[in-house]
Amino acid sequence: VEHAFDDVAGPHTEVLEGEAVSVDTEGKVLTLRDGRTVPFDKLCICTGARPKIVSDHARVLALRDTASVQELRDKLKSCRRVLVTGNGGIAMELVHEITNCELVWVVREPHMGNAFFDEDAADFLAPALASRLASAPVDPVAPPSNPCHR
C-alpha cells in the first residue's frame, strides 16, 4: 500500500525531499543538492532500483507499484506458467508466493538472494523454498502441465 509522505511523518520521523550529493562520514552530515545539511548518527542509504525491462510484450510485467501488482494478481487468475527474472526482494517474494502453476525462476547469480544472503545462508534457506516449488525441474519450452488458480 502506498502512502503520502505526510502519512509517515510523526514525532520521531521527519520527511525531507531532496537529492543527496555528499556524505561526510567523519562529521556525520549528509548534504543535499539545495545546500541543506542533515546530521545523522547512523546512515542507511536506500537508493531504490528500477527494473530492467527485457521485453515490451503485453505479457511482460515489471512490478514497481500497487497498480502493477494488481495487474499481476489479475493475470495470475488464468496463468499456467510464470517466468520470474531477477534475484532481488520482489523476485524472491514472488517465487515464494506464486503457487499452483509452473514457475521458472531465472537468475544470473550463483545463489538466491545474493544481495541479501551469503552463499551459506542461501543454502540454509533453499530447502524451505524448494519444498514449495515443483519437485522436478521445469523445462522452459515444454507446454504447461497444470493451470494456475488463485
Question: Which residues, 6 or more positions from 12, have their beta carbon under 8 angstroms from its beta carbon?
Answer: none
What does the pLDDT look like over 86-145, one tens digit per residue?
888 888 888 888 877 888 888 888 888 887 888 888 888 888 777 766 544 444 445 545
Tell me the pLDDT tens digit for each residue of 28-51. 999 999 999 999 888 877 766 777
At 81 the pLDDT is: 85
Please report which confidence band the pLDDT of residue 85 belongs to, taking 50, 70 and 90 as the band edges: confident
CA atoms of 95 and 72, how far apart (whole Å): 13
Contact predicate 117/138, CB 8 Å: no
Give 54 or 110, the one with higher predicted confidence.
110
Whole-structure pTM value: 0.54
